[in-house]
C-alpha cells in the first residue's frame, strides 16, 4: 500500500458520496447544467449520480489489473469534466455548482483545483495500477489498516464538507 493508493481511495469515496447525493436530489445538478446552456435530458443529474457511484465503488473494489486501470482512467476523465463544469459555472455567475444535491455550494477556483487534482490522482493511479481498498488494507497490520481506513474516511469527509 502506498500514499497514492490512499489518495486514490479518497478520490473514490468522494465520488461515491457526491454521486449518492445526486441520486437522492438531482435538481441542483440539473439546474447547473441548464444554467450553463447544456441541453441535458431529463434525469441527467440522477444518471450522473449513478455513474459516479458505480465508478467510485468500482475504484474501491476492482482488484489490480486492466479493469481497475480503465476505471481509474474513467474517474480521471470524470473529475476533469467536473473541473471544467465548475469553472464554467463560476464564470457564468451561477450560485451552485450542483455537486452535492440539496447542499448548495457556490463554484470556486478552489473547487476547480480540487477536481483537477483528483483527476491527476486518478490518472496517476491508472498509470501505477490502482490497488483495491480491501487488498491494500489487508497488506497492513490490523492497527495500520484501521488507521489508514480512518484517515481515508476523514479526508474524504473533509473534502465533501468543503465542496
64 contact partners, CB below 8 Å, separation of at least 6: 129, 130, 131, 132, 135
Look at residue 157 and tell me whether its pLDDT is greater than 70. Answer: yes
Q: What is the mean pLDDT of residues 41-45?
A: 83
Q: What is the mean pLDDT of residues 60-69?
A: 95
pLDDT of residue 103: 65
Mean pLDDT, the chain, rounded, equals: 91
Q: Which residue reads 489487508 in cell numbers?
A: 138
Evaluate whether 148 touches 140 at the Cβ level (below 8 Å): yes
Residues 70-129 have pLDDT tens digits of 999 999 999 999 999 999 999 988 888 888 766 667 888 998 999 999 999 999 999 999
47 contact partners, CB below 8 Å, separation of at least 6: none
pLDDT of residue 101: 67
pLDDT of residue 132: 93
The burial class, CB within 10 Å (0-12 / 13-18 / 19+), for 24 is exposed
Q: What is the mean pLDDT of residues 12-38?
A: 89
Task: Pick 154 or 41 by higher pLDDT.
Answer: 154
Evaluate whether 18 touches 99 at the Cβ level (below 8 Å): yes
pLDDT of residue 113: 94
Residues 113-143 have pLDDT tens digits of 999 999 999 999 999 999 999 999 999 999 9
pLDDT of residue 142: 95
Amino acid at each position: 500500500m502506498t500514499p497514492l493508493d490512499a489518495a486514490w481511495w479518497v478520490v473514490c469515496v468522494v465520488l461515491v458520496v457526491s454521486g449518492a447525493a445526486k441520486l437522492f436530489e438531482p435538481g441542483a445538478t440539473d439546474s447547473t447544467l441548464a444554467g450553463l446552456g447544456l441541453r441535458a435530458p431529463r434525469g441527467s443529474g440522477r444518471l450522473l449520480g449513478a455513474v459516479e457511484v458505480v465508478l467510485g465503488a468500482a475504484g474501491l473494489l476492482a482488484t489490480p489489473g486492466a479493469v481497475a486501470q480503465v476505471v481509474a482512467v474513467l474517474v480521471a476523465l470524470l473529475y476533469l469534466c467536473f473541473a471544467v463544469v465548475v469553472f464554467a459555472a463560476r464564470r457564468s455567475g451561477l450560485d451552485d455548482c450542483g455537486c452535492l444535491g440539496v447542499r448548495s455550494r457556490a463554484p470556486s477556483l478552489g473547487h476547480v483545483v480540487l477536481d483537477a487534482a483528483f483527476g491527476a490522482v486518478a490518472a496517476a493511479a491508472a498509470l501505477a495500477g490502482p490497488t483495491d481498498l480491501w487488498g491494500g488494507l489487508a497488506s497492513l497490520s490490523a492497527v495500520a489498516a484501521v488507521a489508514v481506513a480512518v484517515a481515508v474516511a476523514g479526508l474524504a469527509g473533509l473534502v465533501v464538507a468543503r465542496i
